[in-house]
Amino acid sequence: MTQNSASKLLNGDTVHRTKQDKKAGGNGFVKNHCLFQQKRYRRPAEKPFVESFEETPLLVAVLTYMGYGILTIFGYLRDFLRDWKFEKCHLAREREEQKDFVPLYQDFENFYTRNLYMRIRDNWNRPIRSVPGAKMDLVERVTPDYNWTFEHTGKVLKDVINMGSYNYLGFAENTGTCADAASECAVKYGVGVCSSRQETGNLDKHEELEKLVARFLGVESSMVFGMGFATNSMNIPALMGKGCLILSDELNHASLVLGARLSGATIRVFKHNNMQSLEKLLRDAIVHGQPRIHRPWKKILILVEGIYSMEGSIVRLPEIIALKKKYKAYLYLDEAHSIGALGPRGSGVVDYFGLDPCDVDIMMGTFTKSFGAAGGYIGGKKDLVDYLRLHSHSAVYATSMSPPITQQIITSMKCIMGEDGTTLGQERLCQLSENTTYFRRRLHEMGFIIYGNNDSPVVPLMLYMPAKIGAFGREMLKRNIGTVVVGFPATPIIESRARFCVSAAHTREMLDTVSITCTLLSSPIVSKIRLFPYNCEIISHSSDFISRNSDFVTCHCEFLTRN
C-alpha cells in the first residue's frame, strides 16, 4: 500500500481535494447533500464530488503478476500429478467411457477455481447463526482436505464485528419496531403466499407497500417483486427487445447484464462513469442507426447503478440525465446499494444530487440492503408499471413477496420517512453518513489505497497480491472481524481488494478496531515515517484492543521503530 498520490476519476479528470472554506461550482459539486433538520448534523450547502481510483503502483503490479504466474505454474503441475494419480483428485471428472469426449471442464476459469480459488475458499460461504447486525455469530468450521470440504466443529465464534453485510441503516435486527411488526404479520398472514400476484397471491400488504414506495421515491406508481436479482433480469426483457439498443456501464451488476442479454437487444458498453464514452455511443447510435439496415433504433436505454458495489463509486447522474435528454434516450437506474444509503431523505442517488425523479424513466432498487429485508421494486410512470404487471415474467410467474418481509419493508421505510412519529430514521441516516466519512478518512490517513466516492458506504481497500486475499480474511477473523475479500474474476486480476460495508449500527469503537487491525496487518510498503506517530496515537486510545492483541501490537511498534 502506498499513499494516495495520483487519485483520479476514470474519465480522466484529476480529483483535487478542496478546502471546506473554498467555494466552487459546476458539475463537480453535489448540492444540498445531507442537510438535516438537527443542527448538529448540518453540512455545507455545496459538497465536492470526490472519487478516488489510484492506479496500481508499478512494483505492486509486477509482484502481483509474478504471484499469479507462480500459482499458475504450480496449478498445472498439480493437474499433471492428478492425471497420473500421484495426488488425490477432488474434481468433477468425466467417466472413463467418456474420455474421448471433449472435456466438460476445460476453460481457464475452471482451472482458476480448482487451483487458486480453492486454496482460499475458506474465506467465503461462512455460515452465520445470528442476525447480520453490527456484530454476528459465526459457526466454526475446519477442512481436512485444503478447502475441498468443510466440517463444523460445533463451536460458535461470538460477537464478530460484521463489516460484510449490506445492513446500511441497521434494520437487520431481531428486536425493535420492525421485528415486532413482522412477527405480528407472520401470525396473521403466515410466512408464505403460495401463489403469484395475478392469481391469489395479491395481498393488501403488497398494495400498501407499492403506494408507500411510490411516495418515498416521488414517482407516480411502483411495483414490488419477491427477488431483487429477478427484478432486473426479468423486467429488462419485458421493456427491450430486438431492434432496441442498450448502453450499459462496464461495471454493472450481473443481474443487469443478464437482463440485457435475455432481452435480445443489441448491447454496447461504455467506460465506467465516462461521459465522453457514453456520448460517443449515443451519437453513433443516432447517426448510423441499426447495423446493416441503418434504420433508427426502436428504443435506446441507458443502464447505470447508483452505487457500484465493487468500486464504491457513485454514478454521475446529472450528466447522464443531460445526455439522455439531449439524445432522447431512456434511463434505467439501479439503486440497489444507494436507496436508503444516500441523500438527506434516504431516497437514493436522485435525492443525493437534488434532482427531479421524473427525469429517471425507470427507477429500480432492492429491499435487501438498507431495509433489512428481501425483494425489489420498479418505480416510474403509471403506464410503465401497468405494462409490467401484464408482461413481466417476475410478476406473472413468480410467487409474490412473503407477508412478514412486506411488513418489515413497510415499517422500516416509514421509519426512514419519519411517518412512525419518531426521528429514528433521520438519526440513522445521519449516523451512516458520519460513520462513512469517519471510516474512509481514518483509512486514508493510515496510508491505505481505498477506492470510490467519499460519501459511499461501500469502502474497497486494495490488497492487490493474491496471497494477501486469503491471509487478510483469515487474520481479520482471528481478531473477531468478519469482512469480504474479493479477487479475480469478480475484479480485475491485479486489483484484489477487501470490501467493507459501513452501517449506521457500527460504533466508533468498532470502526477504530477495524482500522487499527488493518494497520497492524498491513505490509511494510506503508509509509512508516508518516504512519508510526499516528499508530501510536490511535493505539494509545484503544486499551481493549491492546489487551486482546498485546503481543501483536508490541511486535508491530518495535518493527516500525527499527525501520
Compute, in degrees rounded to 10, the torsion defined by CA atoms 358, 363, 366, 369. -50
Mean pLDDT computed over every residue of the chain: 85
Segment 89-134, tens digit of pLDDT: 777 667 777 777 777 666 677 788 888 889 899 999 999 999 999 9
Query: Per-residue pLDDT tens for 459-482?
Result: 999 999 888 999 999 999 999 999
Residue-level pLDDT at 520: 85
State the average pLDDT over residues 398-413. Answer: 96
User: Dihedral through CA 111, CA 113, CA 119, CA 121, nearest 10?
Assistant: -170
Contact 469, 454 (CB under 8 A): no
Model pLDDT for residues 484-494, shown as the tens digit of each residue: 999 888 888 88
State pLDDT tens for residues 31-82. 333 333 333 333 334 557 788 888 888 998 999 999 999 999 999 999 899 8
Taking 80 as the threshold, does the pLDDT of residue 142 lie above it?
yes
List, for residues 249-264, the tens digit of each pLDDT value: 999 999 999 999 999 9
CB 136 within 8 A of CB 128: yes
7 pLDDT more than 50: no
User: Which of these, 147, 23, 145, 165, lies nearest to 88 by C-alpha position?
Assistant: 145
**Torsion region of 264: left, alpha or beta (phi above 0 gives left; psi -120 to 50 gives alpha):** left
pLDDT of residue 47: 57
Does pLDDT of 330 surpass 60? yes
Is residue 11 within 8 Å of residue 274, measured between CB atoms? yes
- Nearest CA-CA partner of 514 in 1, 4, 160: 160
Decide the pairing of beta strands 330-334 and 496-501.
Answer: unpaired
201-235 residues labelled b (16+ CB within 10 A) or e (exposed): bebebbeebbebbbebbebebbbbbbbbbbbbbbb
Please give the angle made by the CA atoms of 426, 307 and 496, to the nearest 5 degrees.
125
Top-confidence residue, 221 or 88: 221
What residues does 379 pair with on adjacent strands? 222, 363
pLDDT over 90 at 335, yes or no: yes
Given a cut of 60, is residue 237 above it in pLDDT? Answer: yes
Reported as a single tens digit per residue, the pLDDT across 151-170 is 999 999 999 999 999 999 99
User: Strand, helix or coil at 214?
Assistant: helix
Task: With beta carbons less than 8 A apart as the criterion, state whether 313 and 355 touch.
Answer: no
Residues above pLDDT 90, as percent of the chain: 69
Q: pTM here?
A: 0.84
With 0-12 / 13-18 / 19 or more C-beta atoms within 10 angstroms meaning exposed / middle / buried, residue 383 is exposed
Is pLDDT of 15 > 70? no
386 within 8 A of 395, measured Cβ to Cβ: no
Query: Which carries the bigger pLDDT value, residue 52 or residue 511?
Result: 511
Residue 523: is its pLDDT beyond 80?
no
Torsion of CA 54, 56, 57, 58, to 10 degrees: -140
Burial class (CB in 10 A: 0-12, 13-18, 19+), 193: buried
User: Does residue 219 contact residue 244 with C-beta atoms inside 8 Å?
Assistant: no
Distance CA 27, CA 105 (A): 49
Q: How many CB atoms lie within 10 A of CB 477?
A: 18
Confidence of residue 20 (pLDDT cuts 50, 70, 90): very low
Cβ atoms of residues 132 and 162 within 8 Å:
yes
Length of the chain, in residues: 563
Predicted local confidence at residue 308, as pLDDT: 96
- Give the gyration radius of the chain's Cα atoms: 25
Give the C-alpha separation, 526 to 74, whole Å. 30
pLDDT digits (tens, 9 = 90+) for 428-440: 999 999 999 999 9
pLDDT over 60 at 328, yes or no: yes
**DSSP track, 136-201:** EEEEEEE-SSTTSS-EEEEEEEEEEEE-SS--TTS---SSSHHHHHHHHHHHHH-S---SBTTTT-
Q: What are the backbone dihedrals phi and psi of residue 135, each rounded to the nearest 5 degrees, phi first? A: -130, 155
In our burial notation (b when 16+ CB lie closer than 10 A, e otherwise), range 126-152 reads bebebbbbbbbebbebeeeeebeebee
**Could you report the per-residue pLDDT of 388-403, keeping only the tens digit for each?**
999 999 889 999 999 9
Q: Determine the pLDDT at residue 100.
A: 77
**Residue 449: how many CA atoms within 13 Å on its side-chain side?**
24
pLDDT for the residue 106: 66
Max distance between CA atoms of the chain, in angstroms, equals 76
Quick check: 528 pLDDT over 50? no
Domains and CATH numbers, the chain: 50-162+423-530 (3.90.1150.10), 177-417 (3.40.640.10)
